[in-house]
Amino acid sequence: MTGRAASIALLICVASSSFFARTAAHANDRFTSDERAMISANGPWPLNPTPDPSNRFSGDQTAIAFGKDLFSDPRLSRDENLSCTSCHVPELGFTDGLERSTGIGEVDRNAPAIANLANFRWFGWDGRSDTLWGQSIHPILNDLEMAATAADIAAQMAGQEDLAARYEQATQTNPADETPEAILVNTGKILAAYQETLRTPRTRFDDYRDALVTGATAGQVAYPDAAKRGLKIFTGKGKCSICHFGPLFTNGEFHSIGIKHFAAADRVDTGRYGGLKAFRESKLNRLGPHSDEDQALAAKAPSAYAAFLHSNWGAYRVPSLRNVGATAPYMHDGSLATLEDVVDHYSDMNMDRLHSDGETLLRPLDLSAQERADIVAFLHTLTAAPVASAAGD
Amino acid sequence: MTANIARAICFVAMAALLSVAPALADCGDETGLLIKGDTAVLHATPPPSALEVGEPFALTLEICEAAAGMEVIRLNARMPAHGHGMNYEPELSRLDDGRYLAEGMLLHMPGEWEFVVDVRSSDQSERLTAAVDLKP
């Protein structure tokens, strides 16, 4: 063989090996039509957030800028030593990394990540609010969290020169002329206006999902094989995507998945039952007196039809999986430390802990070690850069 | 011989279809969902193909055929294979034109759902069901 012929043969070998490698990788994308439909439904990303009709400050840049500063302002707490960022740390995906959060005292729940909230229907692990501003007021008043009162917040807004000026700028009202309740509600709405802007960026999964939908081969090849295998389990035999559905990777509803219901030896966390009860009793919802929404429209919102069910007991809102790699520990009580623990929970599920009136779809998945690792690999592709405010600085 | 049997079967099938067609034709939009029972046939809109996972909707029900005095008294939806229904309790009202409107419906998962409709008259009642395959 001449030198030239050898070079050509080598070139063909290199080219063909690359081709076969790509073909082999592409062959992993063998999803059923149902699995492809589920994957397609997990996008496109990002979503277009819609303004909150119940919050007149939603989308208002002045309120958003004020809300961002208030979010880290300890003057909203009774002892002026805690702020929203005490439990929702930006560098930790707006969680705190703790099993259960600690304000003035320890609460029963894990601090949920706060991102992409503009597209949520219910807020909090138990869905105690159908408004982000109502949910934002809850920790300010909770005795175990910031433990302030409406009078405390009003005193700060009216008495602190910088807060009074920015409050008036954002609301067009002088805090000295308003009731403590009105000031508290406006504070919640201003905080919500900022939180609505917190969004997770596109991820490797989103690139792959789009490539799968459009048939772009290069985009499909670039996605790790382990993640593809994990995604197939997630949408296929694992049935994970039935609840972790849609672009947010949550259907926004409530399920019991066999996590213990006891917050302490002598105390049960009632989950969605308590949340729905609190929602019905609250004035801080879409149909309440502080809502800015057309009440005829609010009366047709899903929350107006929410039903008390036996299965509400011990059920919690399905969390979004976007950015999930950055928000450990997991579950409403933070009882699972890692994503591996979460996958193990579903693989080895204890049927005795499941609600007798709950989701019968749940069964131990009995996954192999490889399958567990693949699902974790997939979940990590749902995490990219840190959560950022779409409103910018 | 075989061909004649096939023709006969086709004839009987076509005759059966034609015999029910006139009554159902009064139900308007043919793309809706027919909910059939022994005592009533209802027509529901929008059709299942127009429903989306997690999106609230209102369902309009029209009585196509029914025993005398039959009324729709309740509508709900459930997932038989999952052992649960909706997380929302729809409100049913009767419209001026005689149709029924169920507001507050929301199917929160993809998969096999079932609309469950209770109808009742002074002397009989029935629970009607119709399968709805909710695509992702």
Domain ranges of chain A: 61-199
What is the rounded average pLDDT of the residues B121-132?
Answer: 96
For the packed helices A204-214 and A33-41, what is the interaxial angle rounded to 10 degrees?
A: 130
Above pLDDT 90, what percent of chain B?
74
- Alpha helices in chain A, H assignment, sequence order: 3-27, 33-41, 61-71, 132-141, 150-159, 161-171, 180-195, 204-214, 217-221, 225-235, 272-281, 295-298, 339-347, 369-380
Asked if B87's CB is within 8 angstroms of A246's CB, the reply is no
A6: buried, middle or exposed (CB in 10 Å: 19+, 13-18, 0-12)? exposed
Lowest mean pLDDT across A38-42, A286-290, B17-21: B17-21
B117: buried, middle or exposed (CB in 10 Å: 19+, 13-18, 0-12)? buried
Q: Would you state the pLDDT for residue B28?
A: 61
- Sorting pLDDT into bands at 50, 70 and 90, what band is B26? low
Got the DSSP string for A55-86?
-TTTT-HHHHHHHHHHHT-GGGSTTS---GGG
Q: Tens digit of pLDDT for each residue in A315-348?
A: 999 999 999 999 999 999 999 999 999 999 999 9
For B28-134, which CATH superfamily applies?
Answer: Macroglobulin (MG2) domain (2.60.40.1930)
| Shortest alpha-carbon distance between residue B77 and chain A (Å) | 13
The answer, yes or no, to whether residue A10 has pLDDT greater than 70, is no
Name the 3-class secondary structure at A232.
Answer: helix
B57 touches chain A (CB under 8 A): no
What is the rounded average pLDDT of the residues B6-15?
Answer: 47
The answer, yes or no, to whether residue A48 has pLDDT greater than 60, is yes
Asked if B53's CB is within 8 angstroms of A305's CB, the reply is no
Above pLDDT 70, what percent of chain A?
91
Q: Which of A164, A191, A230, A205 is nearest to A71 (CA)?
A: A191
B84 touches chain A (CB under 8 A): yes
Residue of chain B nearest A245, judged by CA positions: B109
| Shortest alpha-carbon distance between residue A309 and chain B (Å) | 8
- Sorting pLDDT into bands at 50, 70 and 90, what band is A17? very low
A15 touches chain B (CB under 8 A): no
Q: Tens digit of pLDDT for each residue in A195-240?
A: 999 999 999 999 999 999 999 999 999 999 999 999 999 999 999 9
The answer, yes or no, to whether residue A30 has pLDDT greater than 90, is no
Q: Tens digit of pLDDT for each residue in A157-170?
A: 999 999 999 999 99
Report angle CA B36, B37, B38 to the nearest 5 degrees.
Answer: 140
B88 touches chain A (CB under 8 A): yes
- Sorting pLDDT into bands at 50, 70 and 90, what band is A287? very high
Lowest mean pLDDT across A25-39, A277-291, B58-72: A25-39
The answer, yes or no, to whether residue A18 has pLDDT greater than 50, is no
Q: Would you state the pLDDT for residue A242?
A: 96
Q: What is the mean pLDDT of chain A?
A: 91
| Shortest alpha-carbon distance between residue B122 and chain A (Å) | 29
Nearest to A305 among B82, B84, B104 (CB): B104
The answer, yes or no, to whether residue B6 has pLDDT greater than 70, is no
For residue A176, what are its two tokens?
A: 């000295």
- Give the integer Cα–Cα distance in Å for A110 and A198: 19
Q: Tens digit of pLDDT for each residue in A305-321?
A: 999 999 999 999 999 99
Asked if A254's CB is within 8 angstroms of B87's CB, the reply is yes
What is the rounded average pLDDT of the residues A103-122?
Answer: 95
Q: Tens digit of pLDDT for each residue in A359-382?
A: 778 889 999 999 999 999 999 999
The region, left, alpha or beta by phi > 0 then psi within -120 to 50, assigned to residue A107 is beta
Between residues 47 and 106 of chain A, which touch chain B (CB distance below 8 Å)? none
CATH of domain A61-199: 1.10.760.10
